[in-house]
Amino acid sequence: MLDIIKAVVLGIVEGFTEYLPVSSTGHLLLMQHFFGFGDEGFGNTFAILIQFGAILALLSIYFIRIVGLAAGMFVDKTARRFVFGVLLAFLPAAVIGALLHGFIKSVLFNPWIVCVSLIVGGVVLVWVESLELKPRYRDVFSFSMPMYFFIGVFQCLAMIPGVSRSGATIVSAMLLGSDRRTAAEFSFWLAMPTMAGAFAFDLWKSRHDLSSNGALLIAIGFAVSFVFGWIVVKTFLGYVSRHGFMVFAWWRLIVGVLGIAGLMLGLSWK
């Protein structure tokens, strides 16, 4: 029963945080460090497979638009340009992620790094929200090609757990001239190849650890991740359009400070 509860909790954390600028990887690492969630022997495989639930949630919502782009890119210059822009933005993460995968997993996946990154990212969000930015782009299709590329470069910062992939892409897009909603929407589009690529790469690296052990728990975590990921994707754009990102800045700051306090005190509820 306890393992089922853990699977549900991890599914909620993954689905709820994957598309918010708060770092799903950072939250999962802290859950593992302080509570032992993910230490059941199939932890790495579990984390990889439940992430696929969040990926499918995004793809299911954008399915019609994806099909339209795939069909239109052969006849529509705007669609073709946007697809190329997304792939251009994806390129830096694909190259750096493949080259530094071992270093990232063995060195950067550290709870201290997670907590510091959460705090720094929270401060950055507060700073960006305080700026009187004058957006020039209100449509993801209108970004310039250099802008697509530089957003992709900034996305690479999210290889440091705690930074947040969506946070890095949203902040960089806003600083480069996008409004809040469009920046958040582009983070969804860029998540598709980035998350799918990372999922496939991690799955291949962990292929020898795959087994039928824990299949029920993986299925539960996958389903919960899908549901909560779907809810976030459906509501996130509307929320940030009305309220901005301050709640996520405070979320990051609180979790980061509590995490550092817990590390300094040696707290663990495993």
Query: Mean pLDDT of all residues in the chain?
Result: 90
User: Rounded to the nearest 5 degrees, what angle is found at the Cα of 39, between the Cα atoms of 193 and 192?
Assistant: 10
Return d(Cα 141, Cα 151) in angstroms, integer: 14
Say what the pTM is: 0.92
* pLDDT tens figures, 3-51: 788 889 999 999 999 999 999 999 999 998 898 876 554 455 677 778 8
Residue 139 DSSP symbol: S
- Quick one: what percent of the chain has pLDDT higher than 90? 69
Judge whether residue 159 has pLDDT over 70: yes
The token duo for 221 is 């975590």
Which H/E stretch holds residue 176? none
How deeply is 5 buried, as exposed, middle or buried, from its count of CB atoms within 10 A (0-12, 13-18, 19+)?
A: exposed
The token duo for 48 is 């990889």
99 beta partners: none
Section 69-83 average pLDDT: 91
For the chain, how big is the Rg over CA atoms in Å? 18
How deeply is 208 buried, as exposed, middle or buried, from its count of CB atoms within 10 A (0-12, 13-18, 19+)?
A: exposed
Judge whether residue 208 has pLDDT over 70: no
Section 180-194 average pLDDT: 95
Q: Where are the domains of the chain?
A: 2-265
Q: What is the pLDDT of residue 41?
A: 47
Q: What is the pLDDT of residue 165?
A: 94
Contacts 24+ apart (CB under 8 A), 184-190: 184/236, 184/237, 184/240, 185/140, 185/237, 186/140, 186/143, 186/151, 187/19, 188/19, 188/58, 188/62, 188/233, 189/62, 189/86, 189/140, 190/86, 190/89, 190/90, 190/151, 190/152, 190/155
pLDDT category at 148 given cuts 50, 70, 90 is: very high
Return d(Cα 199, Cα 131) in angstroms, integer: 35
Q: How many CA atoms lie within 13 A of 66 on its CB side?
A: 14
Q: What is the pLDDT of residue 216?
A: 81
Which residue type does 179 have?
Answer: D
